[in-house]
Every structure is written in C-alpha cells, then in structure tokens.
C-alpha cells in the first residue's frame, strides 16, 4: 500500500493508475475506478453518467462525472468486456473507493493505456499529486499606486472591511489591510489536473500618492506580487499622470508583476471614457476594470482578477 500525506490518501500498490486522470485498474478483480487522490480532486462529485455498457476501449470515453465545477470525461485505461456498471459508486467513493466505489468491473482486460504509471514511479507520483492538493494556500502582497484622492484607501477598505466612509483621511505614509479569498483556475479541459483551486491572503499596501512621499514609496514596493494602479474616472489629470506611476513602479519592481489598471468612482459623472482606460491598459499589457469603492461595484472582482493572475504566474500556468 502506498500511503501519502500522513495517511490521508492510500493507493494499493498492486493496482495500476492512469497518470492524468487518477483512474485505477485492479487486474485481479477487474475493477476500474477513481483513486482516493482523484476523488479529492473532484471535490464531492454529484452525478455519474456511463457512456458505454458492453465494452471498454482503451483511450475512449466511458463515463462522465458532474461536479460543481463542470463535467469531467473519463477515458478507459484499458480494453475489456464490461461485466458490471456500478450505478451506486457515488454512495461509496468517499470512504471505500476501491472495494465498493469502483466504476465498472471488466473481464478480458487488454490493450493497457500508455499513460499508466510504472510501479517503480508510483510512490513519487502519488506524493507529488497529493502535495498538489494541499499546495494551494498563498499570501500575495499587492501594492496600490496612483494620485492622491483617487480612492486607493477607499478601495482597500471596501475590499478588506466591506465599508465606505465618505470623509476618509488622506493616507500619510503607508496604509495596510488584508483579506483571504478563495480562487479557482480552470484549464482548457476540466480534468483532475485542469482545475486549480487556491486560497490566498491578499495583503494590500496603500501608499500615499503625494509627491513628498516619493522618496520612501519604493521601500513599500519590495516583494510585491502584483499592483493595482488607480485613477479617478471623474478626474482626467489622474489619468494623465498614469505614466508617472508606471515609471515609478518600473524602477521599483521592473513591471515583472501583474498590474491591474482600475478606474475608480463609477458612481460619479464620467470624464474619462472607458475606452481610453481600456486602450491604455492594452498598450501596457495591463488588466483593466472600472469600479466604485462607494457602492462596492466590482471591487471584489478587481482583487480576484489580480489574485488569479498572480496565482497563474506563481504556478507557471500562463
């Protein structure tokens, strides 16, 4: 028995396993199912639909599993005659995936998939796959830049405390707040390794935008994973000054981090066209969104959008 994550997951070492989909084959009893790590990746599947009832053909779809994230198609790890479709598999998968929670029972097993794990690689593969389930908690430092009075502090407070105060005082030096969010990145296909879930603590550093703080701001940029560049859609000057903030950010972190351009104060009369903001973001390879710290509109979405991009870069998923 291969045991990983301090006994959380067990994989019988006399079974064979599909590398990409966590499907096992018990050649002795002819059972084909999902191993315990695969079940954890699925995160409480809701429904199983069998696509065949007589024959498995290696590499061809044989069932689908519906989850809250979508539908996963499972491909046969071998060829063989189907002796039984286990329509009650979901009732047992959570605690007995190998004995009672298998998907199908087959006979005359042949044509094994080329994607089966070699026995000599089973331990290392299982440990790495189990780690990928728990390697999902992060802490991202995010800096806010932009002119004074564009609403950086209001955005931070709305995000971290879901609160808006009209007469927030101008930031003196650096303000700080944090909030934990849960995110999800879906690959091109919703396979087990195509869905990435993560929890991230977003630490927001809001530096004063006044000129006389320019000499100390570079200190707070250090170790930033992402940046939110804010302008006021009611104040064209704050939009025109974005080049200055780009230069300062570039000098401090080299613009090697994801940057989200945010047009704040959607609740006020617009004086900077949305298209201008979008065009500016495209020219500098920034993400873009407009929001209102006062109403809360799209504030959470802004931070989620940036956190997702940071996560993708951290994990090399671009």
CA–CA gap between residue 276 and residue 316 (Å, rounded): 31
Whether residues 64 and 77 fall in one domain: yes
Number of domains in the chain: 2
Domain coverage including residue 173: 136-314
The pLDDT tens digits along the chain (318 residues) read 999 887 889 999 999 998 878 999 999 999 999 999 999 888 788 999 999 999 999 989 999 998 876 678 888 999 999 999 999 999 999 999 999 999 999 999 999 998 899 989 999 999 888 877 666 678 899 999 999 889 998 999 899 888 886 655 444 345 677 888 888 887 655 444 556 778 888 999 887 644 544 555 677 788 899 999 999 999 999 999 999 999 988 888 877 899 999 999 999 999 999 999 999 999 999 999 999 999 999 999 999 999 999 998 887 776
**Domain boundary, last residue among 87, 114, 133:** 133
Is 226 found in the same domain as 117?
Answer: no
Same domain, 112 and 140: no
146 and 75, same structural domain?
no
Residues 178 and 293 placed together within one structural domain of the fold = yes
Q: Within this chain, do residues 93 and 150 fall inside the same structural domain, yes or no?
A: no
Same domain assignment for residues 69 and 145 = no
Cα(77)–Cα(75) distance, rounded to whole angstroms?
Answer: 6
Pair 51, 61: CB distance under 8 Å: yes
Pure H helices in 189-241:
214-221, 236-240
Answer yes or no: are the C-beta atoms of 21 and 38 closer than 8 Å.
yes
Assess whether 148 and 284 both reside in one domain: yes
Tell me which of 117, 133, 149 is where a domain ends.
Answer: 133
């Amino acid at each position: 028995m291969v045991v990983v994550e301090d006994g959380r997951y067990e994989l019988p070492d006399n079974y064979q396993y599909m590398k990409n989909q966590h499907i096992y084959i018990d050649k002795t009893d002819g059972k084909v199912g999902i191993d315990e790590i695969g079940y954890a990746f699925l995160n409480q599947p809701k429904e199983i639909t069998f696509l065949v009832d007589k024959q498995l053909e290696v590499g061809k779809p044989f069932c689908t599993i519906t989850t809250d994230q979508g539908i996963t198609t499972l491909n046969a790890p071998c060829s063989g005659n189907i002796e039984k479709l286990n329509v009650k598999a979901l009732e047992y998968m959570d605690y007995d995936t190998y004995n009672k929670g298998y998907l199908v029972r087959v006979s005359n097993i042949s044509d094994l998939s080329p994607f089966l794990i070699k026995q000599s690689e089973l331990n290392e593969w299982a440990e790495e796959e189990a780690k990928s389930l728990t390697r999902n908690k992060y802490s991202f430092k995010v800096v806010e830049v932009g002119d004074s009075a564009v609403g950086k502090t209001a955005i931070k407070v709305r995000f971290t405390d879901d609160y808006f105060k009209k007469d927030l005082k101008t930031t003196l030096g650096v303000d700080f707040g944090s909030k934990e969010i849960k995110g999800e990145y879906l690959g091109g296909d919703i396979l087990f390794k195509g869905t990435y879930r993560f929890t991230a603590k977003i630490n927001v550093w809001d530096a004063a935008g006044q000129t006389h703080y320019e000499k100390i701001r570079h200190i707070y940029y250090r170790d930033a994973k992402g940046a939110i560049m804010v302008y006021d859609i009611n104040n064209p000057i704050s939009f025109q000054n974005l080049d200055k903030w780009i230069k300062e950010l570039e000098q401090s972190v080299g613009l090697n981090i994801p940057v989200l351009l945010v047009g704040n104060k959607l609740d006020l009369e617009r004086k900077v066209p949305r298209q201008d903001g979008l065009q500016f973001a495209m020219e500098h390879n920034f993400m873009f969104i407009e929001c209102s710290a006062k109403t809360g509109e799209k504030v959470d979405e802004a931070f989620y959008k940036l956190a997702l991009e940071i996560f993708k870069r951290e994990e090399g998923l671009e």
